[in-house]
Structure 1
Amino acid sequence: MNYFKIEASTVQWVTTAYMLTNGIMIPLTALLLEKVPTKKLFMFSMLAFGLGTLACALSSTFELLLVGRVIQAIGAGIMMPLINTVFLFVFPKEKRGFAMGLYGLVISFAPAIGPTLAGLVIDRWDWNYLFYLLIPIIVFDVIFSYFFMKDIIPSKNPKIDVLSIMLSTLGFGPLLYGFSSAGSKGWGNPVVIITVAIGLLMSVLFVWRQLSMKNPMLELHVFKSGTFTLTTIVSSILSIAQVGASVMLPIFLQNILGKSAFESGLIFLPGALLMAVVMMISGRIFDKIGAKKLVIPGITLLIIASIPFANMSIGMTATSIAIFYSIRYIGIGLVSMPLQTEGMNDLDNKLMPHATATVNMTKQISGSLGTAVLITMMSSFTISNAPNQVLAKTNLALYKSQMLDATIKGMNTTFIYVIAVAVVALLFSSFLKSKKHEKPELEVNIENNTAI
């Protein structure tokens, strides 16, 4: 903010623009994965991410930084579903658990060390070095992929439907923006109401068009698979439960306990690292016992470890937060990859690009919605417990003390709802099949949209 001499609300666009672009790109990846050879698409996504990173590193104006983040998001929005789909194509079903666990380890490692590493970098150098440090890694990835990567996903050269692209963009873009704005502006804000309404309308039209087309951009008939539908529902519900800690605990640590952003990152680091390791281990176990025996204990662990966060107080220590946060994320590590792999294993390989795009899209939407709802709830509960403003004029110290208590009560009450959401996910997960693997329940004939 000081570097560019801009307001905090303007700075927020760095995150918002990245999130919106990433969300818009995800539904398009199914089309790109089938139309563009794997190697070329991966190199394009890495080059786009690299170009955006370089623009951010060299940015002397906020506008250039914003453009760089948008270009980064284009690359990242393609890259993650692409890597996910490649793993599913390369490994047979009996080994996919380990493969997806490894994938989970890789994608979780960077977010795990990111906040701590960023704090160290900013403490010693300028913020630009956060981006400069990425460039050698990106260059290595591009060179390595050029010489060694092969085309994995079969190319079909599907027809580009411009209307589907427009409906997807005009649907998911405004929807994500509306959800992300609701937490700060409130659900009654005209901007939120209009963007969410437009997003919902365009999303419905997008779904209708995909279901009515012979060769849709995004094959939504994947939801004819009961297992895929169930795992997607549970994953989406858990996304809401997962963001609860991500939203409220940093606020509690920094605003209530007075910790710095760097200290907060250190407190969360063990849990994030444990989750990454557990993901890999749970993936290997999944190959032997299936998802249900991992998902139910994992969600149960998440629920138990969330209970202390519904009873927070000013006396709660950073150590206890780190311990319960770590246990919570061990539970998430047990659930994430087995749940996703279980759903994918119930589909034919030709549907993988569409399935990965659909799963990532629903997670993005549910995560944004969950964040907005939880922030709104926390603010509402805090206001309902807040002292009268008159007290601030007569006894400022007492007012601040009561306001602090009201904020903590607001967080505690919100966490009760987070636990309730996790319980709902647990109930849904009880319907998962206990068998290890079965013959795919659904194979969709893309030529005529019929289930076999």
Structure 2
Amino acid sequence: MKKENTLLIIFAFINFTHLLDFMIMMPLGDLFMRIFKITPQQFSFLVSSYTISAGVAGFFSAFYVDKFDRKTALLLNYAGFCLGTLSCAFAKSFEVLLIARSITGIFGGVIGAMIIAIISDVFPYERRGFAMGVLTAGFSVAAVIGVPAGLYLALKMDWHFPFILIGSMGIILGLVLWKVMPSMNEHVVQSDKKFDNPILLMRDIVTDRNQRLALSLNFTIVVGQFLLIPFISQYLIRNVGLNQEQIPMVYLVGGLFTIFTMPLIGKLTDRLGAMKIFITVLLISIIPFVLITNLPKVSIVTALMVTTAFFIFGSGRMVPAQTITTAVVPPQKRGSFMSIRASVQQLGTAMASLLSGFMVTSTTTGPLLGYNYVGFLAVGVSCITLFIAPKLKVVKQIV
């Protein structure tokens, strides 16, 4: 139990760096648009370049990830991620930063899938909801500590510094992981050799209704959320009336609450059932989705109430969703499936970012237009999951 929890804490910190690297782009959006003199559409390319390359990398990694020791595969990908993040720090133009983000995505897209596969191997289904809650809390820590600190460095020093900080932290965590994590290759011994063939592996996924539904669930829930995320900080600044210095407070308060609510949702998932909690949290999340995209000029307190609710319930629905998804395949196929799942999620994120970028318009410093329609679309897409999730089944071979 102690060893499991130690690994869980390390993975949560790795998830922190992985998520922060992606999250830091959104609050820096207004800064990038002014420095590089780019449009909302071009900024959406910066966000989606990471997720597109991550999605492609995740797809191809599915064909080999279950053939290697989990520790070796994770360390190699995390090393590539750290180098990619550091390369972003030295980008001096929009084009170079676009390339650097794409390189980072190639490795970053695989990390999340591998961590979830490892946790699913280590934690039995009955305790997996709590583990997923702790892992998802990495998002909260990134919001509470990482984003405000990154924004402070970017505003007070230079926008390059957050990427230097993330890359340096990643190198230290990589060394800790190499020292602490044991070899994990039981899935290699148990693997079905017929799935060494990529065509047979894909056919297994495509012909398995349970896996198709799980991928559809993850795709729709991610699209529903990431339609909104790229332009939250810009909308709060240009439409709601907050200033750039107040944006860190949005992530700080929202993240502080989710540090406590994510593990709580995880415990409720284990106690009451993943499906019941997923449906409940998703229905509640509709309220902040509509509010945050239609918010007029309000006080900072009112804005924080809405954004915090968005953080809690938007992120909270991922905990039971991930718990359900980890149980649709047996351990020997979990790494490959999680890589395909990550690929589908990243492509969904890219599609959502690009779509919202084309739906939202503005001048260089004027208010954002069309964000309210993005919110209604996000609600509609999210509601599709209510018809998908109840059809999923837990497989018997759970460790």
- The verdict on a shared fold, with TM-score over 0.5 as the criterion, is yes
Q: Give the TM-score category using the shorter length.
A: 0.7 to 0.9
Looking at structure 2, the residues matched to 47 and 223 of structure 1 have their Cα atoms a distance apart, in angstroms, of: 32
Kindly, what percent of the aligned residue pairs are identical? 20
Q: Tell me the C-alpha RMSD between the 2 structures.
A: 3.7
The alpha carbon displacement at 1:412 in A equals 2.8
The alpha carbon displacement at 1:120 in A equals 0.7
Aligned position for 1:121? 153
User: Are 1:232 and 2:215 an aligned pair?
Assistant: yes
- Counterpart contact for 1:38–1:150, Cα < 8 Å: no
Map residues 125-204 of structure 1 onto 2, 5 A cutoff.
Answer: 125-153=157-185, 154-155=187-188
Give the counterpart of 1:41 among 48, 51, 73. Answer: 73
* Structure showing greater relative contact order (alpha-carbon pairs closer than 8 Å, 6 or more residues apart): 2
The alpha carbon displacement at 1:336 in A equals 0.7
Aligned position for 1:241? 224
Looking at structure 1, the residues matched to 293 and 45 of structure 2 have their Cα atoms a distance apart, in angstroms, of: 31
The alpha carbon displacement at 1:322 in A equals 2.0
User: Are 1:293 and 2:323 an aligned pair?
Assistant: no
User: Are 1:373 and 2:333 an aligned pair?
Assistant: no
User: Are 1:323 and 2:305 an aligned pair?
Assistant: yes
The alpha carbon displacement at 1:298 in A equals 0.4
TM-score in terms of structure 2 length: 0.75
Give the counterpart of 2:380 among 420, 430, 435. Answer: 420
- Pair 1:225–1:336, CA change in 2 (3 A): farther
Tell me the amino acid that sits aligned with residue 130 of structure 2: F
- Superposed CA offset, 1:33-68 (max 9, x none): 223322222222232223334444456777776665
Looking at structure 2, the residues matched to 321 and 255 of structure 1 have their Cα atoms a distance apart, in angstroms, of: 13
User: Are 1:83 and 2:115 an aligned pair?
Assistant: yes
Looking at structure 2, the residues matched to 47 and 378 of structure 1 have their Cα atoms a distance apart, in angstroms, of: 36
Map residues 64-75 of structure 1 onto 2, 5 A cutoff.
Answer: 68-75=100-107
User: Are 1:30 and 2:12 an aligned pair?
Assistant: no
Aligned position for 1:105? 137
Structure 1 segments unaligned to the other structure (5+ residues): 159-209, 384-402, 442-452
Looking at structure 1, the residues matched to 161 and 209 of structure 2 have their Cα atoms a distance apart, in angstroms, of: 47
User: Are 1:439 and 2:399 an aligned pair?
Assistant: no
For the residue of structure 2 that corresponds to 1:312, the secondary structure is: coil
Looking at structure 2, the residues matched to 68 and 371 of structure 1 have their Cα atoms a distance apart, in angstroms, of: 18
Looking at structure 1, the residues matched to 36 and 308 of structure 2 have their Cα atoms a distance apart, in angstroms, of: 36
Map residues 299-310 of structure 1 onto 2, 5 A cutoff.
Answer: 299-309=282-292
- Pair 1:266–1:224, CA change in 2 (3 A): farther
Looking at structure 2, the residues matched to 283 and 128 of structure 1 have their Cα atoms a distance apart, in angstroms, of: 35
Give the counterpart of 1:8 among 31, 38, 41. Answer: 38
- Counterpart contact for 2:131–2:266, Cα < 8 Å: yes
Aligned position for 2:331? 349
Aligned position for 2:16? none
The alpha carbon displacement at 1:429 in A equals 3.9
The alpha carbon displacement at 1:301 in A equals 0.8
- Pair 1:320–1:217, CA change in 2 (3 A): farther
The alpha carbon displacement at 1:287 in A equals 2.1
Looking at structure 2, the residues matched to 35 and 258 of structure 1 have their Cα atoms a distance apart, in angstroms, of: 52
TM-score in terms of structure 1 length: 0.67
The alpha carbon displacement at 1:331 in A equals 2.0
Looking at structure 1, the residues matched to 43 and 295 of structure 2 have their Cα atoms a distance apart, in angstroms, of: 31
The alpha carbon displacement at 1:324 in A equals 2.0
The alpha carbon displacement at 1:294 in A equals 0.3
Q: Tell which deviates more after alignment, 300-309 or 106-115.
A: 106-115
- Counterpart contact for 2:44–2:357, Cα < 8 Å: no
Tell me the amino acid that sits aligned with residue 281 of structure 1: L
Map residues 265-304 of structure 1 onto 2, 5 A cutoff.
Answer: 265-304=248-287
Looking at structure 1, the residues matched to 385 and 93 of structure 2 have their Cα atoms a distance apart, in angstroms, of: 45
- Counterpart contact for 1:307–1:419, Cα < 8 Å: yes
- Counterpart contact for 1:234–1:428, Cα < 8 Å: yes
Looking at structure 2, the residues matched to 60 and 368 of structure 1 have their Cα atoms a distance apart, in angstroms, of: 23
- Counterpart contact for 2:331–2:397, Cα < 8 Å: no
The alpha carbon displacement at 1:6 in A equals 5.7
Aligned position for 1:411? 371
- Pair 1:20–1:347, CA change in 2 (3 A): closer
Tell me the amino acid that sits aligned with residue 23 of structure 1: G
The alpha carbon displacement at 1:282 in A equals 1.9
Looking at structure 2, the residues matched to 80 and 258 of structure 1 have their Cα atoms a distance apart, in angstroms, of: 35
- Pair 1:320–1:290, CA change in 2 (3 A): same
Tell me the amino acid that sits aligned with residue 300 of structure 2: A
Q: Tell which deviates more after alignment, 248-257 or 84-93.
A: 248-257
- Counterpart contact for 1:223–1:229, Cα < 8 Å: yes
Looking at structure 2, the residues matched to 220 and 316 of structure 1 have their Cα atoms a distance apart, in angstroms, of: 52
Q: Tell which deviates more after alignment, 76-85 or 138-147.
A: 138-147
